[in-house]
Structure 1
Amino acid sequence: MKSTVAIPLRVLVATLLVFLSKAQDFDFFYLVQQWPGSYCDTQQSCCYPATGKPAADFGIHGLWPNYNDGSYPSNCDPDSPFNPSEINDLTSKMQTNWPTLACPSGNGLKFWEHEWEKHGTCSESVLDQHGYFQAALTLKKQVNLLQILENAGIQPNGGFYSLSSISTAIREATGYTPGIECNVDENRNSQLYQIYMCVNTSASNFIQCPVLPNSRCSSQRIEFPSF
């Protein structure tokens, strides 16, 4: 009788520990937005999506669970594949705010599938698939990065700006210091590529970043290319 009771209890405890580890498996999110002009202005170039050229605006790259030490979980649940039918009501908004620029030209589904399966499945303790994509769209709407930069005189017209001026403009408008990532164009100019904002574990509010990504930017000469 004693062993009959003990075995289920051990199983229950093990199951509970697995659940708790999943529930606490990340410390914050990065909301990552990319400038399409910088994505396209490289040796690799880009392809416009099947819906046509996206608007000249920052587009979502992803909502990425992260740890405070700078590492991150990935591909957490192979039993939770991307299901396009779960986001039918979001497709139009995602094509506008989360467009694909990869080649060959696509409708976005492959991009979104990658983001869900690599990053979204690691946040299932708080967000199902629909909630994951909806949260990213809602957060993007709360912070209009292009408007913030333009209000500070930082225009996507091929001009050059300092790293500190870009970071300061966003910090003064939002209250939070962003992560800034650059790539290089065909002439090896450092250009504004991605902006990281940190979000709490419920994906509901922006927070001060516990850790910022490597910028790979020139401190004084960052191009903001047109698109």
Structure 2
Amino acid sequence: MCRSVLPLLVTLSPALLLLPDVAVTHKQLREDYKYGRQDLELPEKESHCTWKCILFTVQWPGGFCQSLNNETLCRIPQSVNNWTIHGLWPLKAQACCSCWPMFHSDVQELEAELNEHWPSLLKTKSSFQFWKEEWRKHGTCAACVEGFNSPLKYFNLCLKLRQQFDIHRLLEDAGITPSCERSYKVVEVQDVLTPHLGDKYEIQCVKDDKDQQVWFQVKVRLFRNLTVGCDHHGPAAGSGPASHSSPGHPCPLDAPFFYLPINHRDPRRPCG
């Protein structure tokens, strides 16, 4: 049976994803692979799990589409009207394992939630391909911590983090809503988000084809126990030269930016 995901504010103990040299059945191996082992006792396991902070990143679909050079690439499913997950990325992680593949069955029980809250916004990439890439580049690096040590756990925790950091509701309650006419400043958004995200997060923008600053995503720095405020710096796992880098940049403090509405029919032209 699947063990319930650990509470977000409880410290997660680290454990390496190596199976002991004992005879086990195929069913046991499959359950260990999917749900993660809980009884690992390996020497020096702390030294292999070097990352201290993890970035939880959500993106606004109306801004994401402005980040793409090719306007035909973007799609926003009709069911998507909210902030979506971009990823959960350990900083300075070394315990990555490209040998750990992910299969559809690993996240099948979460598929409905993932399609709603973590969809691919590219016509050229299915949602499962997106999830698979995120697991390969980032999830396997996080997996040295027990609470992340399977695809199911990793994606389940991401969904719970998105629920905990309900940015759309926080903004809406404060009167900050998508608009083609009204612009916002960073300080306005910080006044709303800082009490909930701490002070170690980044509001990111991209420039649209009118050279306007457009709100793109939010990166929240978390400790391993998923509490806010981690200030340990370093590149995200999988963020090397060979990997896709985010087009976002910190929204300028002295210039307004737009929080554009979602246009499902023509994502690149939210304002017509």
1:7 maps to none
Q: Residue 120 of structure 2 corresponds to which residue in structure 1?
A: 100
CA distance in 1, matches of 2:153, 2:231: 24
- Picking from 41, 46, 71, the partner of 1:20 is 46
1:187 aligns with 2:187: no
Are the counterparts in 2 of residues 54 and 99 from structure 1 also a CA contact under 8 Å? no
List alignment gaps of at least 5 residues for structure 1.
Answer: 1-14, 67-71
Instruction: Give the alignment partner of residue 61 of structure 1, picking from 83, 86, 111.
Output: 86
Q: Sequence identity of aligned pairs in percent?
A: 25
1:73 is matched with which residue? 93
Instruction: Give the C-alpha shift of residue 206 in structure 1.
Output: 2.8
Tell me the secondary structure at the aligned position of residue 44 of structure 1: coil
1:150 to 158, 166, 172: 172
* 1:221 aligned onto 2:256: yes
Of 133, 151, 159, which aligns to 1:137? Answer: 159
1:211 offset after TM fit, Å? 5.4
> Is residue 2:196 matched to residue 1:169?
no
Contact kept? 1:32, 1:196, Cα under 8 Å: yes
User: How big is each residue's C-alpha offset from its partner over 1:19-74, in whole Å with a ceiling of 9 and x where there is no partner?
Assistant: 3322x32102111000000011343334336xx334221100001111xxxxx337
2:136 corresponds, among 117, 132, 135, to: 117
Tell me the TM-score normalized by structure 1: 0.80
Determine if contact 2:223/2:229 at 8 Å carries over to the other structure.
no
Q: Deviations over 1:144-194 (max 9, x none)?
A: 10111122221111221001111221013x151221111111111111111
Evaluate the alpha carbon distance shift between residue 25 and residue 34 of structure 1 in structure 2; reply closer, same or farther with a 3 A threshold: same
Instruction: Give the TM-score of the pair, scaled to structure 2.
Output: 0.67
TM-superposed deviation, 1:142: 1.0
> 2:106: which partner in 1?
86
Q: Report SS of the residue matched to 1:76.
A: coil
Relative contact order, higher structure (CA 8 A, sep 6+): 2
Structure with the larger helix share: 1
Change (3 A) 1:65 1:57: same
Q: Secondary structure at the match of 1:164?
A: helix
Q: Which letter does structure 2 place at the counterpart of 1:194?
A: Q
Higher mean displacement: 178-187 or 115-124 = 178-187
Query: Conserved in 2, the CA contact under 8 Å of 1:199 and 1:206?
Result: yes
Moved over 4 A (4+): 211-215
Secondary structure of the residue aligned to 2:250 is coil
8 Å CA contact 2:95–2:144 kept in 1: the answer is: no
**Hey, what's the Cα distance between the residues in 2 that align with 1:190 and 1:73?**
32
- Whichever residue aligns with residue 85 of structure 2, its letter is I
Note if contact 1:48-1:105 (Cα within 8 Å) is conserved in structure 2. no
Query: Which runs of 5 or more residues in structure 2 are unaligned?
Result: 1-41, 236-247, 263-272
- Root-mean-square deviation (CA, aligned residues, Å) is 2.2
How many corresponding residue pairs?
A: 200
Q: Distance in 1 between matches of 2:210 and 2:135?
A: 34
Is the 1:181–1:194 Cα contact (8 Å) retained in structure 2?
Answer: yes
